């Protein structure tokens, strides 16, 4: 954990314990720097993080003060513990389809949704960018941009990497139909049916479905809700089994929200390089951080091309446009060939619109507004969990993204809660969705990416009542 995160957690603990109360003024940056023995920039980052969590607020020319939103957080879950790290066939699609069908219904409160509210995105401006760019579209671009993707968009993506300190050539980028295609293409490039792939536990259900579709087997490795996959357990799995790939989320993992530190990412890449196992890095939430700086991907520590970095604009800018990309490193040619023989290319107008939007600026301003909205909503949801859910409930505290992972009292069956909540107009994502072993039966994932209103508050209160009733049985 970084110094500013440690300082922020110390102050948050003081607020939660009642040592600091609503209206109290925090020490000045200079005073906190001197008393804690850290730099002023570290104090600023800690205060910014606390402000993003809704625990403190800055007053112009006055300092930082504890806000009314300082209710105690629920305790965090511990590291996940899959029954055993064995190679397992994957059979989750029927359960996933059953749950996701309900999530698409507009009249449900979408706590089980995988997407934030579409109202948080600059869709009208994107539409204007599309209208403008399509009028200037070179007819030959439909041929020139085939497979690899629009050159202008790839340049804009390369510039985003450069801002984070990564030198990525435009020819190393392949535009895809969303991140999920990028991830699937990378998976197909390095595996064959029957191979074993390491995933987190719990894991993104899209990864489980991809493994199932290709006929791959999963090895679930314990993962901590704060800092990601357990590296000693990962090395044990690599040593014990013939592993062909790892599919991991290093930044704000779905569903836990965990964030691996730079040091841990470096160690992860070194470990996989030693075993010559490619890392398929799913980084779709990396732009949704609540601190001062974007967390770098594991790709930043890759010197041999073993990391296949995948991301998209779907979660941070343009839902529905289905534009993602892959930087597959040493596997670029293999991924490009799979792209050529499957979907061939990506919607040209969507690529043009995004290239135009990024080139004209405004993306970072949008991201700041989006991150602020999500951080405020997370704090509100956390307080609602404390208020409405029974004792024994544990919740993650992500520093980005828009998911909360709840560990409920053991008597609660999350699949039964899912069925009951649907009848009351509320969707959730039950824990067994995220495991090849159908584990996490008393866990669920909540989406806080939709604005808080009376309807949302009623839904969380209703869900809390269902969980409380089940916990007492």
Tell whether 395 and 294 lie within a shared domain: no
Tell whether 322 and 402 lie within a shared domain: no
Tell whether 59 and 105 lie within a shared domain: no
Single out the residue in 329, 363, 397 at which a domain terminates.
Answer: 363
Tell whether 357 and 388 lie within a shared domain: no
Q: What pLDDT, on the 0 to 100 scale, is given for residue 102?
A: 67
Tell whether 218 and 349 lie within a shared domain: yes
Single out the residue in 313, 344, 363 at which a domain terminates.
Answer: 363
In a domain, 83, yes or no: no
Tell whether 313 and 188 lie within a shared domain: yes
DSSP character string of 302-340:
-SSS-EEEEEESTTTT-TTT--EEEE-GGGHHHHHHHHH
CATH number at residue 212: 3.40.640.10
The alpha carbon dihedral of 297, 179, 91, 244 has a sign of negative
CATH number at residue 457: 3.90.1150.10
In a domain, 457, yes or no: yes
Tell whether 397 and 323 lie within a shared domain: no
Tell whether 274 and 339 lie within a shared domain: yes
- Tell me how far apart the alpha carbons of residues 413 and 419 are, in angstroms, rounded to a whole number: 10
User: Which tokens in the block code for residue 86?
Assistant: 């064995």
Q: What pLDDT, on the 0 to 100 scale, is given for residue 293?
A: 85
Tell whether 137 and 103 lie within a shared domain: no
Tell whether 327 and 198 lie within a shared domain: yes
Q: How many domains does the chain have?
A: 3
Report the SS3 class of residue 174. Answer: strand
Q: What pLDDT, on the 0 to 100 scale, is given for residue 70?
A: 47
Tens-binned pLDDT, residue by residue, of the chain (473 aa): 678 888 988 888 788 667 887 778 899 989 999 988 999 999 988 898 888 777 888 877 778 888 755 456 788 898 887 766 778 788 787 888 877 776 667 789 999 999 999 999 999 999 999 898 888 877 766 666 777 999 999 999 999 999 999 999 999 999 999 999 999 999 999 999 999 999 999 999 999 999 999 999 999 999 999 999 999 999 999 999 999 999 999 999 999 999 999 999 999 999 999 999 999 999 999 999 987 789 999 999 999 999 999 999 999 999 989 999 999 999 999 999 999 998 888 999 999 999 999 999 899 999 999 998 898 888 889 889 999 999 999 999 899 999 999 999 999 999 999 999 999 999 999 999 999 888 999 999 999 999 999 999 999 999 999 999 999 97
In a domain, 59, yes or no: yes
CATH number at residue 37: 1.10.10.10
Half-sphere exposure of 80 (CA within 13 A, CB side): 36
In a domain, 206, yes or no: yes
* pTM of the entire predicted model: 0.86
DSSP character string of 127-138:
HHHHHHHHHT--
Task: Find out whether 180 and 324 touch, Cβ atoms under 8 Å.
Answer: yes
Q: Which residues of 123-150 are buried (b: 16+ CB within 10 A; e: fewer)?
A: eeebeebbeebeeeeeeeeeeebebbbb
Q: Which residue in this structure is represented by tokens 């050529």? A: 340
| Structural domain that includes position 349 | 121-363
Tell whether 150 and 172 lie within a shared domain: yes
Q: What pLDDT, on the 0 to 100 scale, is given for residue 51?
A: 80
In a domain, 72, yes or no: no
Tell whether 342 and 401 lie within a shared domain: no
> Angle, to 10 degrees, between the axis of helix 178-190 and the axis of helix 332-341?
110
In a domain, 78, yes or no: no
Q: Which residue in this structure is represented by tokens 């592993």? A: 243
In a domain, 73, yes or no: no
Half-sphere exposure of 397 (CA within 13 A, CB side): 20
In a domain, 181, yes or no: yes
Single out the residue in 363, 397, 423 at which a domain terminates.
Answer: 363
Q: How far apart are the first and last CA of the chain?
A: 39
- Tell me how far apart the alpha carbons of residues 198 and 434 are, in angstroms, rounded to a whole number: 14
- Tell me how far apart the alpha carbons of residues 28 and 248 are, in angstroms, rounded to a whole number: 40
């Amino acid at each position: 954990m970084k110094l500013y995160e440690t300082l922020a957690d110390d102050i948050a603990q003081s607020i939660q314990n009642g040592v600091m109360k609503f209206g109290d003024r925090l020490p000045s940056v200079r005073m906190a720097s001197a008393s804690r023995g850290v730099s002023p920039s570290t104090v600023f980052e800690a205060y910014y993080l606390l402000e993003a969590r809704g625990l403190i607020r800055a007053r112009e020319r006055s300092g930082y003060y504890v806000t009314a939103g300082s209710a105690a957080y629920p305790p965090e879950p511990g590291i996940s513990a899959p029954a055993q790290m064995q190679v397992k066939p994957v059979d989750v699609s029927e359960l996933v389809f059953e749950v996701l069908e309900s999530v698409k219904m507009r009249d449900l409160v979408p706590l089980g949704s995988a997407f934030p509210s579409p109202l948080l995105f600059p869709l009208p401006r994107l539409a204007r960018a599309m209208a403008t760019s399509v009028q200037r579209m070179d007819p030959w671009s439909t041929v020139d941009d085939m497979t690899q993707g629009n050159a202008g968009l790839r340049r804009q993506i390369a510039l985003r990497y450069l801002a984070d300190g990564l030198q990525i050539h435009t020819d190393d980028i392949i535009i895809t139909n969303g991140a999920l295609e990028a991830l699937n293409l990378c998976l197909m490039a390095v595996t064959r049916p029957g191979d074993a792939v390491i995933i987190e536990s719990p894991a993104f259900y899209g990864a489980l479905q991809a493994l199932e579709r290709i006929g791959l087997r999963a090895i679930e490795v314990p993962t901590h809700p704060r800092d990601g996959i357990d590296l000693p357990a990962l090395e044990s799995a690599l040593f014990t089994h013939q592993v062909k790939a790892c599919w991991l989320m290093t930044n704000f993992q779905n569903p836990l929200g965990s964030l691996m530190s730079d040091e841990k990412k470096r160690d992860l890449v070194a470990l996989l390089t030693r075993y010559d196992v490619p890392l398929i890095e799913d980084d779709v939430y990396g732009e949704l951080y609540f601190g001062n700086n974007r967390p770098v991907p594991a790709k930043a520590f890759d010197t041999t091309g073993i990391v296949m970095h995948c991301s998209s604009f779907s979660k941070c800018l343009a839902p529905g446009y289905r534009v993602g990309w892959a930087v597959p490193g040493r596997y670029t040619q293999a991924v490009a060939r799979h792209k050529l023989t499957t979907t061939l290319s990506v919607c040209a107008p969507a690529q043009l619109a995004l290239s135009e939007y990024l080139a004209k600026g405004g993306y970072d301003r949008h991201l700041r507004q989006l991150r602020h909205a999500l951080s405020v909503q997370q704090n509100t949801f956390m307080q609602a969990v404390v208020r409405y859910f029974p004792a024994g409930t544990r919740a993650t505290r992500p520093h980005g993204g828009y998911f909360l992972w709840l560990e409920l009292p053991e008597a609660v069956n999350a699949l039964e809660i899912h069925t009951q909540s649907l009848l009351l107009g509320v969707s959730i994502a039950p824990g067994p969705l995220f495991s090849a072993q159908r584990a996490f039966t008393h866990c669920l994932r909540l989406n806080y990416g939709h604005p808080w209103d009376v309807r949302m508050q009623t839904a969380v209160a209703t869900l809390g009542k269902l969980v409380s009733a089940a916990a007492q049985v």
